[in-house]
Amino acid sequence: MDLLWTISTTLLLCSLLSILWKEFDRRRNRSCYLLDFVCYKPSDDRKLSSELCSDIIVRNKRLSVPDYKFLLKVVVNSGISEETYGPRSIIEGREECPTHDDCVDEVDDCMYRTLDELFLRTGISPIDVDVLVVNVSMFAPSPSLTSRIVNRYRMREDVKNFSLVGMGCSASPIAIDLVNNIFETRKRTLAVVVTSESIAPNWYCGTDKSMMLGNCLFRSGGCSFMLTNDPSLKHRAKMNLKCLVRAHIGANDDAYGCAIQKEDDEGRVGFHLSKSLPKAAVRAFAENLQRLAPKVLPMGELALYVLRGFRHRLWRSKEAKTDAATAARVNFKSGVDHFCLHTGGAAVIDAVGRALGLTNYDMEPARMTLHRWGNTSASSLWYVLGYMEAKKRLRRKDRVLMLSFGAGFKCNSCLWEVLRDLNDGGAWDDCIRAYPPQTLDNPFIEKFGWVKEA
Amino acid sequence: MPRAPFPELSSSVRLKYVKLGYQYLVNNFVAFLLIPVMIAVSLVLVRRGPDEIMALWHSLQLDLTQVLFSVFLFVFVAAVYFVSRPRPVYLVDYACFKPPTTCRVPFATFMEHAWLINWDEKSVQFQTRILERSGLGEETCLPPANHYIPPIPTMEASRAEAQLVIFSAIDDLLKKTGLRPKNIDILVVNCSLFSPTPSLSAMIINKYELRSNIRSFNLSGMGCSAGLISIDLARDLLQVHPSSNALVISTEIITPNLYTGNQRSMLLPNCLFRMGAAAILLSNRRRDARRAKYRLLHLVRTHKGADDRAYRCVYQEEDAEGHTGISLSKDLMVIAGKALKSNITTIGPLVLPMSEQLLFFLTLVGRKLINHKWKPYIPDFKMAFEHFCIHAGGRAVIDELQNNLQLTAEHVEASRMTLHRFGNTSSSSLWYELSYIESKGRMRRGHRVWQIGFGSGFKCNSAVWKCLRTVETLVDGPWTDCINRYPVDIPDVVKL
């Protein structure tokens, strides 16, 4: 029965081929390409100088003189320049009673400006968008922000839209995680993600110091970016996602409560940042790095790390070994070329940089972003990336690590591989030549020099 | 409210039987085709006789190894086919929050509070009229903070309500399923009008000490149909991660959203929204298939936001005096009908039997080519589903859908009774309705359920589930103590 034999062998080969093809197809679908990103640049009439900040602080008649000094000190020493932006309602004096329209306009301006430019630059029409994700942590109107975008750009009826809210400063990797998961279930899908923060409705007008920090550090900003898993668009893509790690230590009460929106003793809502925040950040950071290291580091470095671990266990070294300190022993620079650190504050950048063993050159993009744009919450990573691109640091095959922290407490990270040499100026175009400046000191230190003595 | 005219093709009894015969023929077409083939084959066999058949068999000279090899090949190909199918999504179980009786808001309480908070006679009269015609009963509940005069819409009170409703539902679910919190892989929470930072998902992770590598998502602002959006997201995640389970929480927090102004279009939500929550456990593990209640067959999302009228029909804004509220436009029913039609266009081909699809197609062709005055054929969805869960958004929504889909009173009973007993609990209402059907002992193995949700945007989302095991009547749920009183007759207007 040669015929039977031939038929059997053919069927067997076909089955094997189909399995191989399915596996190959699945891996192909796993790609998540970043086509482009556009960072938000508000209009110049929204710039918040230190002088203007001081005026705004003084408007709060409930504060005492020590409170003013404390706040001015924070502002002056924050590493934030005179060029950052605030919402119109605060600049125009309505910080204590913003209208619903003020809040909506603030977010609309960011979303629409960045999306208009994104669609223009990529040449892709809004009608082709399959997935839309918006993350704005502290403002969720009805209909949702995604519906606002669907309405304005007349998107399709079957667009998958998700409005992520309340996920803090590290919501960007969460949105990417969501899109990436959808990419694995559908072919040739195009996704648009908008990440921003809403400051107007969240201005704190009480006297609790732990809640006033937010007022001083948060600034207006946002970013829209486009992702796809369509291999035919790979040649136009800027980066490819290699891995993503999310760590959530909310199970611990201190971590959950260290950055929380709540009412103060007088019933005013504010964002409370507790003293245990750095500790929670370290724990979440360690948790994230433990899972990130094997995915990011080359085999040699991993082997060294394991060997050091054995040596420590065998010889019971007396040195205090916290997880963060162990992390410092691991040379992340062996697997990562550029680091996009969340610009939570100068102290955060310094601490993370020390833990990862980074040089001033590595931390420069984050520091400069904090200086030029302030803490723009979830979108800060994209401004840092924009700096690197404007400085022409991103070359083909470079690996970029995005690392951010957020309320909950979370630490999320994702690793990108650059697909081609990048040199767009983006939002940094008009000022990149002035960076890095001679000094990061606030020019008004002379005027407010007395705060340094307090 | 204008009602769209729909055709009555089977007006006479004779036509009805003709239609039945046609449906039977088309839906079992393959079987009908095979019958003559089988008859022919058996006739040939019978004519040949048993001895000849045995001789034929021996003449094939099949070798043992070849037979074994063919069997192996067949099994291998079958295995490849089964493994490459998309992962099924099972609904292991779900639990709905049962509000305590202390939170009850009978009509008298509601009217008195409305008067004491508002002091505007016209507004109170308007709300009374709405309540009379709303289809709500006397046992719906508002959160504790809304029982104060004036209500205390603080963040602390809102969090307290969230903890009350969500944790109760999750505790019930954990007890029912025996699930350990550390085994939860995916968490999706949706709550439209309350979104603190950290999110409600972080609050749940904190309370139940969930794992640090959990995939959590918090959706907000997505309206009353967000429950199905969360299920959609959980489904996509379960397709990607093998051997996982997902906890989906759907709720709406009422505390911070009481409208204290006088604009009529914004007073409606005050009258209709009540507190509720549902916790749903989904899984893609094959071993859960044995104990799961339902399997998700289809989920279709439709977003009509591109149309300005649809986009603005449920809209949060400030009134002239600066009070924020959600205004419902007069066009709501028309827009809901259109959104449903769009949704049906996608889901119809997936669920309708061949007979209905063919009729629809032929009528469409006829309208285009023969006579465009032919009325469009509305497929009979009662053939595709045994049960319907229509979002209990309000009496008008249920009436409109009953009319559009030509459903009987029994089909919409679950929705009407849920509206009566629990009010409009937003995204969790679909689960209260499902619980009603189960509590009534109507859910049998093989039955299909269609859940339809509407929400701001304007969205229409629908999900189709198939029941995997007959659900026993003594269902432990929100209806346990009152199911025997239902169904009740709800008058068009309750005189207050």
* Predicted local confidence at residue B23, as pLDDT: 79
In a domain, B156, yes or no: yes
Q: Which residue has the higher pLDDT, B41 or A225?
A: A225
Contact B279, B86 (CB under 8 A): no
Residues A116, A221: one domain?
yes
| Residue B284 Cα, gap to closest chain A Cα (Å) | 15
Residue in A22, A154, A157 closest to B84 by CB? A22
Q: Does the distance separating the beta carbons of A143 and B306 come in below 8 Å?
A: no
pLDDT tens string B319-354: 999 899 999 999 899 999 999 989 988 898 899 988
> Residue A267 burial by CB count (10 A; 0-12/13-18/19+): exposed, middle or buried?
exposed
Using alpha carbons, list the distances in angstroms from residue A226 to A230, A404, A429, B346: 12, 20, 20, 27
Residues A402, A253: one domain?
yes
Q: What is the mean pLDDT of residues A194-205?
A: 92
Q: Does the distance separating the beta carbons of A178 and B233 come in below 8 Å?
A: yes
Q: Which residue has the higher pLDDT, B76 or B359?
A: B359
In a domain, B55, yes or no: no
CATH of the domain at B261: 3.40.47.10
Tell me whether strands A131-136 and A190-196 are parallel, antiparallel or unpaired: parallel
Q: What is the mean pLDDT of residues B28-54?
A: 83
Confidence of residue B176 (pLDDT cuts 50, 70, 90): very high
Among A189, A215, A238, which residue terminates a domain? A238
Would you call B303 an interface residue with chain A, using a CB distance cutoff of 8 Å? yes
Interface of A with B in 286-325 (CB under 8 A): 287, 291
Residues A104, A77: one domain?
yes
Tokens of B222: 């997505």
pLDDT tens string A2-36: 776 777 777 777 777 777 777 777 676 679 999 99
pLDDT tens string B305-321: 999 999 999 999 999 99
In a domain, A9, yes or no: no
Residue in A140, A250, A271 closest to B202 by CB? A250
* Predicted local confidence at residue A124, as pLDDT: 96
- If you search the block for the tokens 């804004």, which residue do you land on? B317
In a domain, B447, yes or no: yes
Q: Which residue has the higher pLDDT, B36 or A414?
A: A414
Residues A148, A84: one domain?
yes
Among A238, A256, A273, which residue terminates a domain? A238
Residues A216, A256: one domain?
no
Among B187, B197, B300, B311, most A C-beta atoms within 10 A, so best to mutate, is B197
Residues A166, A142: one domain?
yes
Would you call B223 an interface residue with chain A, using a CB distance cutoff of 8 Å? yes
Among B222, B343, B344, most A C-beta atoms within 10 A, so best to mutate, is B222
Q: Does the distance separating the beta carbons of B206 and A99 come in below 8 Å?
A: no
Residues A168, A125: one domain?
yes
Residues A211, A331: one domain?
no
Q: Where are the beta strands (DSSP E) in B10-106?
A: 90-96
CA angle A322, A271, A255 (to 5 degrees): 25
In a domain, A453, yes or no: no
Q: Sort out which chain B residues have CB atoms less than 8 A from A184's CB and list them.
A: 239-240
Residues A209, A282: one domain?
no
Report d(CA B188, CA B204) in Å as an integer: 10
* Predicted local confidence at residue A324, as pLDDT: 47
Contact B264, B328 (CB under 8 A): no
Interface of B with A in 320-349 (CB under 8 A): 322, 324, 326, 342, 346
In a domain, A22, yes or no: no
| Residue B247 Cα, gap to closest chain A Cα (Å) | 16
Q: Which of A176-185, A209-218, B63-72 has the highest mean pLDDT?
A: A176-185
| Residue B345 Cα, gap to closest chain A Cα (Å) | 12
Q: How many CB atoms lie within 10 A of CB B239?
A: 18
Would you call B84 an interface residue with chain A, using a CB distance cutoff of 8 Å? yes
Q: Where are the beta strands (DSSP E) in B343-440?
A: 387-390
pLDDT tens string B360-402: 888 878 888 887 777 777 788 998 999 999 999 999 999 999 9
List, by residue number, the catalytic residues of A: 169, 248, 338, 342, 371, 375
Residue range of the domain that includes A292: 240-311+324-429
Interface of B with A in 233-262 (CB under 8 A): 233, 236-237, 239-240
Q: Does the distance separating the beta carbons of A164 and B219 come in below 8 Å?
A: yes
Is residue A327 over pLDDT 50?
no
Q: Does the distance separating the beta carbons of A4 and B66 come in below 8 Å?
A: yes
Q: Does the distance separating the beta carbons of B197 and A168 come in below 8 Å?
A: yes
Q: Where are the beta strands (DSSP E) in B195-339?
A: 215-219, 245-252, 276-283, 294-303, 314-318, 324-328
Among A196, A217, A238, which residue terminates a domain? A238
Contact A412, A288 (CB under 8 A): yes
Q: Which residue has the higher pLDDT, B80 or B171?
A: B171
Amino acid at site B166: I
Report d(CA A132, CA A227) in Å as an integer: 10
pLDDT tens string B414-469: 999 999 999 999 999 999 999 999 999 999 999 999 999 999 989 999 999 999 99
Is residue A323 over pLDDT 60?
no
* Average predicted confidence (pLDDT) for chain A: 88
Contact A243, A414 (CB under 8 A): yes
Tell me whether strands A399-406 and A410-418 are parallel, antiparallel or unpaired: antiparallel
* Predicted local confidence at residue A66, as pLDDT: 87
In a domain, B28, yes or no: no
Confidence of residue A217 (pLDDT cuts 50, 70, 90): confident
Would you call A178 an interface residue with chain B, using a CB distance cutoff of 8 Å? yes
Residue range of the domain that includes B185: 89-485
Q: Which of A41-50, A327-336, B221-230, B362-371 has the highest mean pLDDT?
A: B221-230
pLDDT tens string A81-140: 888 999 999 999 888 889 999 999 999 999 999 999 999 999 999 999 999 999 999 999
Tokens of A353: 């940089």
Report d(CA A244, CA A180) in Å as an integer: 9
Q: Does the distance separating the beta carbons of B214 and A22 come in below 8 Å?
A: no
In a domain, A436, yes or no: no
In a domain, B332, yes or no: yes
| Residue A252 Cα, gap to closest chain B Cα (Å) | 6
Q: Sort out which chain A residues have CB atoms less than 8 A from B324's CB and list them.
A: 100
Q: Does the distance separating the beta carbons of B199 and A158 come in below 8 Å?
A: no
- For chain A, give me the number of helices (H) and strands (E)? 16, 11
Using alpha carbons, list the distances in angstroms from residue B244 to A241, A388, B235, B262, B433: 23, 39, 11, 49, 27
* Predicted local confidence at residue A127, as pLDDT: 96
Report d(CA B171, CA B168) in Å as an integer: 5
Question: What would the DSSP string read from start to end of B99-151?
Answer: --GGGB--HHHHHHHHHHHH--HHHHHHHHHHHHHS---S--B--GGGGSSS-
CATH of the domain at A34: 3.40.47.10
In a domain, A1, yes or no: no
Q: Does the distance separating the beta carbons of A408 and B218 come in below 8 Å?
A: no
Q: Does the distance separating the beta carbons of B203 and A263 come in below 8 Å?
A: no
pLDDT tens string B112-129: 998 888 778 999 999 999
The answer for residues whose C-beta is within 8 angstroms of residue A423's C-beta and 6 or more apart is A389, A390, A392
| Residue B307 Cα, gap to closest chain A Cα (Å) | 7
Among B69, B82, B155, B206, most A C-beta atoms within 10 A, so best to mutate, is B206
In a domain, B201, yes or no: yes
Is residue B246 over pLDDT 50?
yes
Q: Does the distance separating the beta carbons of B240 and A185 come in below 8 Å?
A: yes
pLDDT tens string A36-92: 999 999 999 999 888 888 888 888 888 888 888 888 888 877 888 888 999 999 999
In a domain, B355, yes or no: yes
Lowest mean pLDDT among A74-88, A261-275, B53-67: B53-67
Contact B145, B154 (CB under 8 A): yes
Report d(CA B295, CA B280) in Å as an integer: 13
HSE, CB side, 13 Å, CA atoms: give it for residue B107. 17
HSE, CB side, 13 Å, CA atoms: give it for residue B462. 24
Confidence of residue A370 (pLDDT cuts 50, 70, 90): very high
Contact A160, A233 (CB under 8 A): no
- % pLDDT > 90, chain A: 62
* Predicted local confidence at residue A446, as pLDDT: 63
Would you call A140 an interface residue with chain B, using a CB distance cutoff of 8 Å? yes
Confidence of residue B3 (pLDDT cuts 50, 70, 90): very low
- If you search the block for the tokens 């088309």, which residue do you land on? B26
Residues A128, A176: one domain?
yes
Query: How many distinct structural domains can be found in chain A?
Result: 2
In a domain, B491, yes or no: no
Residues A205, A297: one domain?
no
CA angle B469, B475, B480 (to 5 degrees): 160
* Average predicted confidence (pLDDT) for chain B: 89
Confidence of residue B7 (pLDDT cuts 50, 70, 90): very low
Catalytic residue (choose from B224, B313, B389, B460): B224
Q: Does the distance separating the beta carbons of B210 and A147 come in below 8 Å?
A: no
| Residue B197 Cα, gap to closest chain A Cα (Å) | 5
B269: closest CA among B166, B192, B167, B343?
B192
The answer for residues whose C-beta is within 8 angstroms of residue B237's C-beta and 6 or more apart is A181, B186, B188, B215, B244, B246
The distance from CA A89 to its chain's CA centroid, rounded to whole angstroms, is: 25
Is residue A299 over pLDDT 90?
no
Q: Where are the alpha helices (DSSP H) in A259-330?
A: 277-296, 299-315, 323-329
Q: ipTM of this predicted complex?
A: 0.91
Among A108, A138, A147, most B C-beta atoms within 10 A, so best to mutate, is A147
What Rg, from alpha-carbon coordinates, does chain A have? 24
* Predicted local confidence at residue B12, as pLDDT: 59
Contact B397, B390 (CB under 8 A): yes
In a domain, A81, yes or no: yes
Eight-state DSSP code of residue B296: E
Interface of A with B in 387-416 (CB under 8 A): 407-410
What residue in B sits closest to A175 (Cα-Cα)? B217
A386: closest CA among A46, A30, A34, A50?
A34
Contacts 24+ apart (CB under 8 A), A427-431: A427/A38, A427/A39, A427/A40, A427/A41, A427/A383, A427/A386, A428/A372, A428/A383, A428/A386, A428/A387, A428/A390, A429/A390, A431/A83, A431/A372
| Residue A268 Cα, gap to closest chain B Cα (Å) | 9
Amino acid at site A361: Y
Q: Where are the alpha helices (DSSP H) in B371-412?
A: 395-404
Is residue B36 over pLDDT 60?
yes
Could you tell me the sign of the dihedral formed by the alpha carbons of A57, A59, A60, A64, in that order? positive
Q: What is the mean pLDDT of residues B206-232?
A: 96
A341: closest CA among A315, A367, A322?
A367
CA angle B388, B25, B85 (to 5 degrees): 60
Instruction: Encode A29-49: b = buried (16+ Cβ within 10 Å), e = exposed.
Output: bebbbbbbbbbbbbeeebebe
Tell me whether strands B215-219 and A338-341 are parallel, antiparallel or unpaired: unpaired
Is residue B66 over pLDDT 80?
no
In a domain, A254, yes or no: yes
Query: How many distinct structural domains can be found in chain B?
Result: 1
Confidence of residue B6 (pLDDT cuts 50, 70, 90): very low
Q: Does the distance separating the beta carbons of B193 and A157 come in below 8 Å?
A: no
Is residue B188 over pLDDT 80?
yes
Residues A305, A202: one domain?
no
Report d(CA B395, CA B397) in Å as an integer: 6
Would you call B156 an interface residue with chain A, using a CB distance cutoff of 8 Å? yes
Is residue A383 over pLDDT 80?
yes
- If you search the block for the tokens 């509601």, which residue do you land on? B110
Report d(CA A107, CA A224) in Å as an integer: 12
- What phi and psi, each to the nearest 5 degrees, are found at residue B336? -60, -40
Is residue B169 over pLDDT 60?
yes
- What phi and psi, each to the nearest 5 degrees, are found at residue B383? -80, -20
A174: closest CA among A138, A147, A141, A135?
A135
Contact A298, A335 (CB under 8 A): yes
B453: closest CA among B253, B269, B302?
B302
In a domain, A8, yes or no: no
Would you call B350 an interface residue with chain A, using a CB distance cutoff of 8 Å? no
Q: How many CB atoms lie within 10 A of CB A92?
A: 10
Q: What is the mean pLDDT of residues A374-388?
A: 95
